[in-house]
Amino acid sequence: MITDSFHRFKLLAVLLMLVVLLAACVQSSSNDSETTTEDGKPIINIGRQTGSNPKLPEGDTFEDNAYTRAAEDVLDIEIRNAFEAEGEDYDRQVALAISSGDLPDMMIVSQEELKDLVDNDLIEDLTDVYEENASDYIKEIYAGYDNKPLEDATFDGSLMAIPGTDSLAAPQMTWIRADWLEELDLSIDEDGDRLITLDELEEVAKAFLENDPGDSGNPVGIPFENYLNAGGYGSFTMDSIAAVFEGQPKKYLIEEDGSITYGSTSEGTKQALEVMNDWFNEGIIDPQFGTRSFDDIMALLTNGQTGIATGAWHIPDWGLSNVREMDNNARFTAYALADDEGKVNVAEQKTTGGSFIVVKKGYGHPEKAVEMLNLFYDDIENTTEADMENTFPEVAEYLAQGVDDSTKPFNIVVLPMQTYLDDYQDVQAVLNEEMAVEEITNPQVRQNINGIKNYTENPEDVPTSNWSSYHSRIEGWGLMNKLTEEDRFNWIEAAYVGNTPTMEQRGSGLGSMEEEDFIKIITGAEPLDYFDDFVEKWHNQGGSEILKEIEEELAQ
C-alpha cells in the first residue's frame, strides 16, 4: 500500500513538473512594450500588407528597404513590422491582431474593420494631426475627389483614418488584335474615333472565327469569366457590353430622385444578356464559357485561339504581355463600345478604394502617420529625376529596377483624380519633343516613357515590357484621353457601398445566384424571360432591404 501511494505521488510529481515547465513557457508578458529606441527615436510597429514579387534587391526586406530607410531618415523613426502578409492572409492577420487585443501601432484596414475599430474605440482620432501636418498637395488631392475619401473615414465629425483613393473611373476597353485586323483586311472604326458598336465587334469576332488568323486550328469566340461582372473594371467581363444599354451590373446606381437601383437588375443588363445569348448560340462567345478559368482564357489568347479581350487599360502589362511573348508580331488596339448615340456609359464613384491607415489608440506619435503620407505621396511623387538622385538615391535605384510599391511601409494609394490623364499629357509632350524626360516629376512615368520610345523606334526587337508600356499607356491611356477630349463619356453616378447588414447576411448568396442565373440565360439553359424571375428573386431574398439600407446610409 505504501509503495502504491508512493508511486501515485511520484506520478503526480512528474505531472506537476510538466505543468510547471509548460507554464514557464506560457508566461506571457508582452514583449512589444518598447516605444522608443535607445537613442530616443519613436518605434512604429506596422501591420504590413506585402506583395508577392516585390523584386527587392538582395539583403533588403519588407522591414528594411530603401523606402523604410528613407522614412526613418526623414521622419526620425524606426519602423518594425508587427506582421507581414498579403491579400486574404493579411486580412486574417488583421482579424487575429484585433481579436487578441494586440494591435500594431499602424496598419491598413478595410471599411468594415474601420467601422468596428471606431465602434469599439480602439483607434486614435486623427482630425488634428491631419489638419496640422498634411501638406497642401495632399489636401488638394482629396479635394479633387470632393473630399469623399475623407468623409468615408470620418465618424461623428472626427477623422479616424487616412483614406486611400481610387483614381479616375474608366471604361472597360475592348482589346482587339490589330495585326489580325490588318491581315484579314477588316475595317472597323473607319472614322478613327476608337469607338465601335456591338455589330462591329460581332463582325470582327466572326471574321476571326472563320479565318483563324492565329493558325491555332481551333479558334474560339470572345472569352468571358464565369463571374460576368466585377465591382471594378474587371477583365473578361460583360461590363462594357452592358454599358452599351446603360446597364451597369454590380453597381448601386443613384437615380435622379435619390433612390437607389441595382444595375444587375436593370433593363439594360437584360438587353446585354439577350445579345450575349444570341452570340453564344452563334458561337461568337466561347462555347466553353462558364467553365473557363482565368488561366484558361489567358491560354486562349496566348495560343492565338482568340484575339478579343475585354479589360482595363493596364491589361497589356500583366495579361496580354504573354501574347507578345509567344507571337512577336502581336499588336492590340483598344476600343470602347459605344451606344447608339456614340456615348460611352461609365459608372463613376468617387471613393476611397476601400483602404485606410489607422493608428492604435494611445500611440504616442500619430502625427508620424500623416508625415509618412506626405513623404510617400507628395515628396517622393513630386521629385524630379535630378533631385531624386540627391535626396533619395536608394529610392531612385529602386524605381530604376522596378521594385514594387508594396515595399513602401505605407502602401495605400493616394493619387490625384486625373492622374492618368495628366500623365498621358506628359508622355505625349515628351514624344512630341516638347518636354524633356527629366522634367517629368512622376518617377514611374519616367520609367515607362523610355520603354515607349524604344518600342516606337523599333517595335519588333524590344523586350515585351516595352511593348506592354506602349500598349497600356499609348493605347489605353490614349483611348481614355481621346474620349475625354471628345466628350464621349456619359457618367452614371454610382454609390460606394461598404457592407450593409443585409449584405453581410445575404450578399454572397445573392451574388452566387446572379452568377448562376446569368450564365443560364446566356447559355440558353433558361429563356431570356427568366431574367424577370431573377429580378424578383433578387428583391425577395434581401435585395430590397439592401437598397433601402443604402438609401438610408446615403441620406445620413
Partner 1 sequence: MAINNQGTTIRHRKKDVKKAKLTYHAMLAPGMIFLLIFSFTPMFGIIMAFQDFVPARGFFGSEFVGLQHFQYMFDLPDIARVFRNTIVIALGKIIFGSLLAIMFAILLNEIRLKLLKKSVQTIVYLPHFLSWVVLSTVVVNLFNLDGTVNQMIEFFGFEKINFLGSNTWFQPLLIGSDVWKEFGFNSVIYLAAIASVDPGLHEAASMDGANWWKRVWHITLPGMLPIILLLAILSLPSVLDGGFDQVYNLYSPIVYETGDTIDTYVYREGLVGRDYSFGAAVGLLKSIIGLTLILSANNAAKKFTERKLF
Partner 2 sequence: MIEGNSFSSKFGKCIIYFIVISLGLVCLLPLWNIVAISFSSGAAVAANLVGLTPINFSTGAYEMIMEDAQFWRSFSISVQRVVLALVINLILIVLMAYPLSKTKREFKSRSIYMNIIIFAMLFSGGLIPTYIVIRNLNLLDTIWVLVLPGAVPIFSVILIMNFFVGVPKSLEEAAIIDGASPLQVLFKVYIPVSLPALATVALFSIVGNWNDFMSGLIYMSQVSNYPIMTYIQSLTIDISELVRAGTSNESLQNIAEVQNRNLNAAKIVVSTIPLLLIYPFLQKYFVTGIVVGSVKE
Straight-line distance from the first to the last Cα atom of the chain, in angstroms, rounded to the nearest whole number: 79
Residue 14 contacts partner 1 per CB under 8 A: yes
* Residue span 462-501 as binding mask against partner 1, x where in contact by CB under 8 A, dash where not: -------------------------------------x--
93 binds, among partner 1, partner 2, none (CB under 5 to 8 A by kind): partner 2
Stretch that binds partner 1, among 95-103, 182-190, 193-201, 314-322 (CB under 8 A): 95-103
Cβ(77)–Cβ(44) under 8 Å?
Answer: yes
Give the one residue of 342, 402, 463, 509 binding partner 2; rule: CB under 8 A. 402
Residue 133 contacts partner 1 per CB under 8 A: no
How far apart are CB 528 and partner 2 at their closest, in Å?
26
19 binds, among partner 1, partner 2, none (CB under 5 to 8 A by kind): partner 1
From CA 208, how far away is CA 212, in angstroms rounded? 5
Q: What angle do CA 65, 70, 76 make, to 5 degrees?
A: 120
Residue 505 contacts partner 1 per CB under 8 A: yes
Residue 166 contacts partner 2 per CB under 8 A: yes
Placement of cell 503620407 in the chain: 373
The single-letter DSSP state of residue 372 is H
Q: Which of 193, 226, 224, 189 is nearest to 204 (CA)?
A: 189
DSSP-based helix, strand, coil % in the chain, nearest 5? 50, 15, 40
Give the one residue of 42, 232, 283, 507 binding partner 1; rule: CB under 8 A. 507
Placement of cell 453616378 in the chain: 493
Q: Which of 35, 12, 15 is nearest to 23 (CA)?
A: 15
The single-letter DSSP state of residue 42 is B
How far apart are CB 11 and partner 1 at their closest, in Å?
5
From CA 514, how far away is CA 223, in angstroms rounded? 19
| 394-401 long-range contacts, CB within 8 A, separation 24+ | 394/66, 394/69, 394/70, 395/66, 395/67, 395/70, 395/443, 396/443, 397/66, 398/65, 398/66, 398/67, 399/443, 399/444, 399/446, 399/447, 400/447, 401/55, 401/57
Q: Which is nearer to partner 2, 203 or 422 (by Cβ)? A: 422
Residue 15 contacts partner 1 per CB under 8 A: yes
Q: According to CB under 8 A, which residues from 497 to 556 bind partner 2?
A: none
Residues 6+ apart with CB under 8 A from 334: 173, 174, 175, 194, 313, 471, 475, 476, 478, 479
Q: According to CB under 8 A, which residues from 273 to 312 bind partner 1?
A: 287-288, 290-291, 293, 295-296
481: left (phi over 0), alpha (psi -120 to 50) or beta: alpha
Q: Which is nearer to partner 2, 165 or 383 (by Cβ)? A: 165
Stretch that binds partner 2, among 178-186, 187-195, 228-236, 520-528 (CB under 8 A): 228-236
- Helix/strand/coil for 427: helix
Return residues touching partner 2 (CB under 8 A).
25-28, 31, 50-55, 58, 61-63, 81-87, 89, 92-93, 95-96, 99-100, 102, 166, 225, 227, 230-235, 293-296, 298-299, 302-303, 312, 314, 317-319, 321-322, 325-326, 353, 402, 404-406, 413, 444, 468, 472
Return residues touching partner 1 (CB under 8 A).
4, 7-8, 11, 14-15, 18-19, 22, 91, 95-96, 98-99, 101, 112-113, 116-117, 119-120, 122, 218, 226-227, 287-288, 290-291, 293, 295-296, 499, 503-505, 507-509, 511-512, 515-516, 519, 523, 541
